[in-house]
Amino acid sequence: MKKLSSVRFSTVVFAMVLLVNTVLVACPNCKDNFDLNTTSGGIGSAYGYTIYLLIAMPIVIVVTLALRVKKQMQANDKTEMYRRAA
């Protein structure tokens, strides 16, 4: 199995983040209420923050899992190296 360098891995993860962000779109009500000059500007702002949270959570989960898998694979490689040396 060919290993990805950390720069290449980071580039792939960054590209995935950009792809996900271009696909996701806010609902029309949230987009229209995001004007801070109106009396309901706080509600639109709150909707905006929740949308950012909803966009960020799957990305954080995927990146965390990918980093854990990479770390475990590196640990397995070191263990295999020690077994061969013994």
Q: What does the alpha-carbon distance between residue 23 and residue 55 come to, in Å, rounded to a whole number?
A: 10
Contact status, residue 34 vs residue 47, Cβ threshold 8 Å? yes
Confidence of residue 18 (pLDDT cuts 50, 70, 90): confident
Query: Residue 66 contacts by C-beta under 8 Å, 6 or more apart in sequence?
Result: 9, 13
User: pTM for the complete prediction?
Assistant: 0.46
Report residue 36: phi and psi, to 5°: -75, -10
Determine the pLDDT at residue 85. 76
What SS3 state is found at 23?
helix
